[in-house]
Structure 1
Amino acid sequence: MILPIVAYGHPVLRMVAKDISADYPELDKLIADMWETMYYSNGVGLAAPQINRDIRLFVVDSKQIFENLDDEEKAEYPGDAGIKQVFINAHIKKLNGDDWPYNEGCLSIPKIREDVFRPEEVTLDYVDENFQPQSTTFNGITARVILHEYDHIDGKLFIDHLKPLKRKLLKSKLDDISKGKVRVDYRMMFYK
């Protein structure tokens, strides 16, 4: 089932999400709905707070990004061919490498894209959809997508990484989004 995406201004986007256990109600269905919602909305990642759940769960499909790159562009990201993966109860173990810019957007903040600086590499401790413990290092664009989604489960948004002046310049657009004054091709949930 395609779920509505929570829009900027909703308090769930600012909550630090909670870890869950393997007996979380209908977890398999929720994960399937998140994949369906993410693809329908043309996203490459989706975190549970974006569908109004304050739990530490997100999905990432960065393989889509690499499908659209030519060989020269792919060579810019050695060791990264993308992933399609579920992350539950993720916690950052280590950040590594230089911060580098990339133009990011967010389904919860439509029609706004900005360059955000993030580290080249992240090591995460998490459990997969079968609740098997994992500790994995990711780099390149995949690390960036993971860090973007990870921010959501920590109550942060990509705009929090922008300089204050840039955020001030975006204020009216952000206010419009929070008031529901935005048109997108997917369902959104606005906070009243």
Structure 2
Amino acid sequence: MKTLVLTAHPNMKDSTINKAWTERLRQENNITVHDLYEAYPNFKIDVQEEQELLLSHDRIIFQFPFYWYSSPAILKEWQDVVLTYGWAYGAQGTKLHGKQFGLAVSTGGPKEAYQAGGYNKYSMNELLKPFEAMSNLTGMKIIPAFLEQGVRTMSPEQVQESAERLAQYVTAE
């Protein structure tokens, strides 16, 4: 299965977990790692190129740190300009139908903070619903999200273990 991983971290070089994830995934065959901030530092997204990338892959993964209960800005911009009516959704918008879609999301706060009664009041499943709705609208089959929470307190060994688990998640058939 050919997989496209769209990474969206505005400061990848200073990241711990997303940088380790990206470096690990780049070692895999059949995975294209596409760093949106690196490709489009000015946010001028090449829609045709991005749509061609989507068409040439069977599985699409959005990888990002959880910012303000969503993704970093460039991923939202990417969705707005690439997933167009008549191409990704609408009566004629069937280009992504049948592709798999998943998320690889990191949070600085611990898992306990993301639940009813927790610090953030909502579970990650609830907070990630807009991505599930996007998947549904575009006809993609959603796979369970890969979540790594509490990353601020992870040891270097735990970071590497997480990168290995992510590689297994992304390459699973």
TM above 0.5, yes or no, is no
Structure holding more helix per residue: 2
TM-score when normalising by structure 2: 0.27
TM-score when normalising by structure 1: 0.25
Structure holding more strand per residue: 1
